[in-house]
Amino acid sequence: MEKNQFQNGEIDQLVKVALESTDELSVPYQLADATIARLRKKILLKEMVTELAFKICIGLGSLGILAGAFILTGGQEFMEKILDFLRINKPVVLLFLTTSVVIIILDQILIRYINADEESASSPFAH
């Protein structure tokens, strides 16, 4: 029995040495670094989207609080004027809102994301 186990040990050792001797089982150069860069970009994108969502929530929340305060303090007339103005100038308001959203996304996410991409591309670990 002992002899048989020893023989198993010998076979195991030979297989281990053989497997270690081949380059095929070595991770290709820079693959790990390229993977790390890709994962970091994913984390960055997630952070930026969360941050933007947080800022939008704060902005909308502040507007809501202001509107609520106007209504509670008897500012319905003023609110109606604002709503009328928005109704009359609907196309201009929509264009303004769309442009603002595009600029915010460009500024807060895309430009930062592209800059991060360039930084990782110029790093010595770049793929």
Smallest gap from Cβ 53 to another protein, in A, equals 15
**CA angle, corner 122, sides to 116 and 127, nearest 5?**
95
Contact 53, 108 (CB under 8 A): no
**Closest CB to another protein among residues 85, 125:** 125
Structure tokens at 77: 């007339």
Instruction: Give the contact letters, 3-32, x = binds to another protein (CB under 8 A), - = no.
Output: ----xx-xxxxxxxxxxxxx-xxxxx--xx
With b for 16 or more beta-carbon neighbours within 10 A and e for fewer, the 91-127 pattern comes to: eeeeeeeeeeeeeeeeebbeebeeebeeebeeeeeee
Q: Work out which of 2, 3, 43, 73 binds another protein, going by CB under 8 A.
A: 43
**Closest CB to another protein among residues 36, 66:** 36
Contact 109, 48 (CB under 8 A): yes
Residue with tokens 């930062």: 112
Considering only residues 79 through 118, tell me which ones interact with another protein, judged by CB under 8 A.
none
Smallest gap from Cβ 50 to another protein, in A, equals 9
Smallest gap from Cβ 59 to another protein, in A, equals 24
Residues of this chain that interact with another protein (CB under 8 A) are 7-8, 10-22, 24-28, 31-32, 34-36, 38-40, 42-44, 46-47
